[in-house]
Amino acid sequence: TGVQLTIFAFSILAILIALGLSLLLARSVSQPVSTLVKAVNKVASGKYGATLKTPSKLKEITELANAVDSMQASIKSREKHIRYQAEHDVLTGLFNRNYVEGYFESELGSGHSVQVVAITVIGFRTINDLYGYSNGDNTLKALAERLQRWPGTSARLAGGEILYITHDALNDDQLETLKHILEQPVESNLIAIPVKVAMAVIDCPKDASSSEELFRKMNIVTDEAIHSDSWCVRYKADLEDKYTRRLSITTELKRALISQQNELSMVYQPKIDLQTMKVCSMEALIRWNNSVLGFVPPDEFITIAEQAGLIEQVTSWVMKQTISDLAYFREKGYGFTVAMNLSTQDIQNKVLLTKLVSLLTEEGLSPEALELEITESDLVADASLAIENLNELTARGFHFAIDDFGTGYSSLAYLKNLPVKTIKIDKSFILSLASDENDQQIVRTVLSLASVFNLKVVAEGVEDAASLDILKEWGCDIVQGYYISRPLSCADLESWLQNTPFGE
Ligand code: C2E
Ligand code: CA
Ligand code: CA
């Protein structure tokens, strides 16, 4: 009926109005929302921009738009931060390795030549150990600041390794100036920290044309700069062979030390007492015959072992072998002492020295049966600790001899204050003693001073009878050298001892 019809008509109208309204609402919501969605998608693909062109009348939409805006801003700043971190060293603010790789390749790619100077803070770990990490950090920051005043690009790689890259190659004088500036002591927490650096110089693209090649060669040159006497080393092709050899010596020596194979052995060189003309001692010298490298001279691998942190193991091996051989000779009735060579680091190594004492005790030998040869530089390196250990061992009955005397700086007067009884004049003064007047003068002076200071003198490197006679006449105590005998294996030594006029 009429009422029903009216209700129906109103219902339809209401539905239509609702439909129209919701359509209207939908448009005013969906349009800004889809703009916002586009904006968010843009952000996702790394582009930032305004969100809504005209502010919406709807509160919720405005809030949403503001949220998207602030999200953009914070992502932007975080991205900036992340990019900074990806390219910089956080501690010093210098660039990092990652950045350098890209920078280097793009520079070379655009045809520029650059000079890369790798600067290594020598003993950076020791700075940390000695002065604490905060002072270590301050040292690096100070170096970074100094370097940043120079035109060019600087980066820190790791630890105390810093790179300086410049388009205007530095000459030797400029490199020295840079070194001088970097080596100014760093003031930190009221202390002055001494700094020493080594520099490796690589001219690119001449020396390296990819970042991989750059870093590989940098390691080689840096290694040389740290271990050689010169503070600055430029890349040269033959450094690679040297490095490779050093590397294989390290690898092979490690292998020889852990496996029980017989690559390592000891030989013994007799020393003769010039008063009795009889054997009084044997110097123990190590030999290494490697399956890959062949015979490696002890001078060479001992130095490398010291640098590679292997010397403790080497000396340990030498101690064991020498003391067991000494026990064998005692058993056979021989009374000579044995002289063992120690390295700088050995003198500072209390654990190793304690082991020496217990090895002797195990074999029932007394410390008097052993003589320890050390060089002057061993005493200069860390004088106080070395001297403390020296005194302690002397109190236990050990004897020390200064090896290679005359090649270093210490005077006899200085040695007088150390628990040292014997000096060994270096063979460089003895080898041509019979003919070289200079050597004669030096040796004569050393001998007369030594008698004033009450030190025994051994001359090593005696190769002829004439030199032996001179030394005897001038009051030298003991001689050692090829003229008497070359170093001999245990077996050869026994037959030598039975046939020589110098036998006990
Ligand atoms: P060093 O302690 O000065 O040893 C003396 C070196 O002179 C030995 O060389 C010996 O063979 C050599 N020599 C002896 N008499 C003569 C001679 O009349 N003429 C010539 N031309 N040379 C002579 P070697 O055995 O090659 O040892 C070289 C260096 O290696 C040693 O110098 C020592 O510094 C080191 N070394 C050897 N064995 C050991 C060891 O067991 N431990 C440590 N730490 N170093 C060792
Ligand atoms: Ca020696
Ligand atoms: Ca020597």
Domains in the chain, please, with CATH?
97-236 (3.30.70.270), 261-499 (3.20.20.450)
> Would the CB of 285 count as within 6 Å of ligand 1?
yes
> Would the CB of 270 count as within 6 Å of ligand 1?
no
> Would the CB of 482 count as within 6 Å of ligand 1?
yes
Cα separation, 390 vs 371, whole angstroms: 12
Cα separation, 127 vs 133, whole angstroms: 8
User: What is the pTM assigned to this prediction?
Assistant: 0.78
pLDDT beyond 90 at 36: no
Q: Which of 194-208, 392-406, 409-423 is modeled with the greatest confidence? A: 194-208
Q: Which of 3-7, 330-334, 415-419 is modeled with the greatest confidence? A: 330-334
pLDDT beyond 80 at 245: yes
> Would the CB of 341 count as within 6 Å of ligand 1?
yes
Can you give the pLDDT at residue 323?
97
Can you give the pLDDT at residue 90?
92
Residue 120's alpha-carbon distances to 104, 188, 212, 222, 304, in angstroms, are: 19, 20, 19, 7, 19
> Would the CB of 463 count as within 6 Å of ligand 1?
yes
Can you give the pLDDT at residue 394?
92
Q: What pLDDT, in 10s, does the model give residues 351-388? A: 998 999 999 999 999 999 999 999 877 666 567 778 88
Residue located nearest, by CA, to atom 28 of ligand 1? 299
Q: What pLDDT, in 10s, does the model give residues 459-484? A: 999 999 999 999 999 999 999 999 99
* Choice from 314, 319, 322, 341 to test ligand 1 binding pocket (greatest atom count within 8 A of CB): 341
Can you give the pLDDT at residue 70?
87
pLDDT beyond 80 at 417: no
Quick check: bond before 205 cis, omega within 30?
A: yes
Ligand located closest to 427 CA: 3
Q: Coil, strand or helix: which one is 268?
A: strand
> Would the CB of 320 count as within 6 Å of ligand 1?
no
> Would the CB of 487 count as within 6 Å of ligand 1?
yes
Task: Calculate the CA 146 to chain-centre distance.
Answer: 24
* Cα separation of the two ends of the chain: 147
At a CB cut-off of 8 Å and minimum separation 6, what does 128 contact?
A: 135, 136
For 41-55, 167-181, 260-274, 483-497, which range has the lowest pLDDT when averaged over its residues?
41-55
Of 37 and 372, the one with more pLDDT = 372
Cα separation, 40 vs 331, whole angstroms: 90
For 66-80, 175-189, 351-365, 465-479, which range has the lowest pLDDT when averaged over its residues?
66-80
The CA R_g of the chain, rounded to the nearest whole Å, is: 38
Residue located nearest, by CA, to atom 33 of ligand 1? 299
Ligand 1: centre distance to CA 487 (Å): 9
Q: Coil, strand or helix: which one is 275?
A: coil
Can you give the pLDDT at residue 419?
87
Q: What average pLDDT does the structure give for the chain?
A: 91
Share of the chain above pLDDT 70, in %: 97
Q: Which of 39-53, 326-340, 399-413 is modeled with the greatest confidence? A: 326-340
Both tokens of 3, joined, read 């009422």
pLDDT beyond 70 at 49: no
Ligand 1: centre distance to CA 353 (Å): 22
DSSP alpha helix (H) spans, 259-375:
298-307, 311-331, 344-347, 350-362
